[in-house]
Structure 1
Amino acid sequence: MVGGEGENNRGSKSFESSLELSPEQIEAGRLLFAGPCDFFHGAQQLEQLPDPGEPEVAFAGRSNVGKSSLINAVTGRRSLARASSEPGRTKQLNFFNLANKLVLVDMPGYGFAKAARAVKEDWQEMMFSYLRGRPNLRRVILLLDSRIETKASDREVMELFDLAAINFQVVLTKCDSVKPRAEKARYQNVMEEVGRHPAAHPVVIPTSSETGRGIPELRAELAGFAQP
C-alpha cells in the first residue's frame, strides 16, 4: 500500500485499481448527478410500489452504516435522504427520480438490535419480494461500514440477494475514519466475502461522504444503468 499509517486517505488509489473507469465515464456520472433529483414515492407495502419505469438502483445497509449520508453525497444534496430517529421502525421504500433517467431507491436499514423479531421478519419478507419481483431493478448497492467487521445480518442479506438472483455491489462507508492499514485489511476481508456470493459484483468501492472519496466512481458506476 502506498503511504504510511499517517497518510490521508483522500484520493488514495492504493487498492482500488480493480475499478477502471475512463474520464468519459466519470464525466457522464458527474453530468447525470448534476441533474434534478427529487423524492416522488414512498411504499410501506408491496401493493404500494410505483409502476416500473426507469431503471432502478437500490441502496441497502445496516442501521447507522451511513446510507443517508452516502445518498446525499452521491446526489449532491444535503438532506435528500434522511436517517430515521428510530432505527428499525421505518419499513418504507423511498423512491427518488434522477433526471428522468434513473430511479434511486432507499431501502430501510436492517440489523437493528432493538427491533422485535416480527419487524425483522417483515423486513426480510418485503425486501425479498421487492428484489425478486422488480423487473427494472438493475443493482443493489450494499453498504458496509469500513470500521467494523461484517456482521451476521450482512451475510444474511447477501444470501438474500443470491436467492433473489439480484446483482449487488458492496460499497465501504466511512473510510475517512480508518487508518490505511486497517482499511486495507477490511477491504481484503470484504473481497473474500464477496467472492463467496454468486450475485455479487466483483468490484468493491471504498468511499467517504465526508471527503468525497469514491463518490465520482460510484456516480460513474450508477450512470451506466441510466437511460440515455
Structure 2
Amino acid sequence: MRTARFTTLKKLPFAIEQTTFSRSFSLSCKVQHKITPTPTPTPTKILSNRQKFKQIQPPLKVYEKLERLGFGSLPSINRYRGILQQKARLQQQQSRFTDSKKPEPEPNYSFPFVSFFAGAKVPSSIPVETLNEVAFVGRSNVGKSSLINSLAETATVRTSDKPGLTQQLNFFNASGQFHMVDMPGYGFAYADEAQRSEWKNLGFCNSRCETWTKVKFQIVLTKSDLMILPDLARRVVSVGDQISSYKNAIKDVLVVSSKTNAGINEFRKQILFLMGQLKPKKFYESLEETKVEKALKKEEKQKKDDRKKK
C-alpha cells in the first residue's frame, strides 16, 4: 500500500487557495482537477447626490429637536414606523425614571434694541472694532436681513424679494452690548458685474485679519419651513457631517424660519450666550410678564375709547 500526496488548485475571485490531502491506492489512481470559473464582478452602481441624500437616516434626537422648534412632527405612516416606535419606547422609559411633569418651556428670550450705526461701501469706511461682532454671511436672497429683523423683532433692516438688495456692509448696534454685520450676499444678485466686484474688495475680512482665523462660525439653515420634516432632518445631518472637520465650527446646526418664527427663539438664545449677554430665565420671564401687562392695559384703554365714541 502506497500513499501519495496530491494538491488541487481551487480558484477564488481574488486569490488562489491550495488544498492538500492524502489518498491511498494499490495499483492506480485518478485525480480530477476541478476548476471554478472566476465570477464576473458586478459593476458598482453610482448613486446621484439626490439618491445619497435620500439614504440618510437621521437619528431620533434630530427629529425631536425639529419638533420642539416648531417644524411639525412625523406622520404616522409605515415609512416612519421604526422611528416612531423608537420614540414611543424612549418616552415610556423616561416616564418610569422621571416625574410625569413635562419640562418647563423655554422663556421668550428678548434681544437688545438694535439700531443701524454705519454702512461701508469701501474698506476705508469700515468702523473700528470696539465690541464683539456677529457677521451674517451667505448667498444672495437666503434671508440674512430678514433673519436679523426676526431676531431683533424689528423692521430696522431693509429687505426685498430681489437678490442683492444689501450692497454694502451694514453695521447694527445691539444696545452697546455687541454689533451685528449684515454682509452683501454672494452668487446671483440683481447688480451689475462692477458692483459685485466692489463687494469682493470691501475687505471686511482683511480689516479683522488679526483675529479672523480664530473666529468661530455656525451654520444656520434659513427658510426651513419650505421643506418637509424628513428632508429637513436629513439636511441637518448632512450639513453637520460636512462641518465636522472644521476646528472653528460650532457643531450645532441651527434651523430657523423668519416666516413662521420657528427656531428664532433658540437662535436668539445662542447669540446672547456667545456674546456673553445671556441672562437667567427669571429675567426673561419677568420681561414677558411686563409685555403681557402692557398689552392688556393697551387693550383696556382701546375698549374705553371705543365706548366713549359710541
User: What is the count of residue pairs matched by the alignment?
Assistant: 185
Aligned partners of 2:263, 2:122: CA distance in 1, in Å? Answer: 33
Give, in angstroms, the shift of residue 54 of structure 1.
1.6
Matched, 1:123 2:199: yes
Give, in angstroms, the shift of residue 134 of structure 1.
2.2
Letter aligned with residue 30 of structure 1? Y
Aligned partners of 1:71, 1:13: CA distance in 2, in Å? Answer: 27
Against the structure 1 CA distance between its residues 136 and 180, is the aligned structure 2 distance closer, same or farther, given a 3 Å change threshold? farther
Task: Select which of 85, 93, 98 maps to 2:174.
Answer: 98
Structure 2 length as normaliser, TM-score?
0.51
Task: Select which of 193, 215, 218 maps to 2:264.
Answer: 215
SS of corresponding position for 2:232: helix
Structure 1 or 2: more helix by fraction: 2
Deviates more, 1:112-121 or 1:79-88: 112-121
User: Match of 2:230?
Assistant: 181
Q: Contact 2:115/2:156 (CA < 8 Å) preserved in 1?
A: yes
1:82-97 correspondence runs (5 A)? 82-83=158-159, 87-88=163-164, 90-97=166-173
Aligned partners of 2:69, 2:275: CA distance in 1, in Å? Answer: 30
| Higher RCO (Cα < 8 Å, 6 or more apart) | 1
Q: Contact 1:205/1:218 (CA < 8 Å) preserved in 2?
A: yes
User: Match of 1:133?
Assistant: 207
Q: Any unmatched runs of 5+ in structure 2?
A: 1-59, 75-102, 278-310
Letter aligned with residue 170 of structure 2? N
Against the structure 1 CA distance between its residues 44 and 84, is the aligned structure 2 distance closer, same or farther, given a 3 Å change threshold? farther
Against the structure 1 CA distance between its residues 115 and 199, is the aligned structure 2 distance closer, same or farther, given a 3 Å change threshold? farther
> Which whole-Å deviations, capped at 9, do the CAs of 1:134-163 have from their partners, x for residues lacking one?
2798xxxxxxxxxxxxxxxxxxxxxxx8xx
Aligned partners of 1:135, 1:223: CA distance in 2, in Å? Answer: 24
Q: Aligned-residue CA RMSD in angstroms?
A: 3.4
User: Match of 1:156?
Assistant: none
Aligned partners of 1:171, 1:13: CA distance in 2, in Å? Answer: 21
Structure 1 length as normaliser, TM-score?
0.67
Percent sequence identity over matched residues? 36
> Which whole-Å deviations, capped at 9, do the CAs of 1:187-216 have from their partners, x for residues lacking one?
122112212434322111011112222112
User: Match of 2:53?
Assistant: none
1:1-228 correspondence runs (5 A)? 1=60, 10=70, 30-31=109-110, 33=111, 35-77=112-154, 79-83=155-159, 87-88=163-164, 90-112=166-188, 115=191, 118-126=194-202, 129-134=203-208, 164-226=213-275
Aligned partners of 1:86, 1:47: CA distance in 2, in Å? Answer: 28
Against the structure 1 CA distance between its residues 201 and 121, is the aligned structure 2 distance closer, same or farther, given a 3 Å change threshold? farther
Aligned partners of 1:177, 1:136: CA distance in 2, in Å? Answer: 39
Give, in angstroms, the shift of residue 130 of structure 1.
1.3
Larger CA Rg, structure 1 vs 2: 2
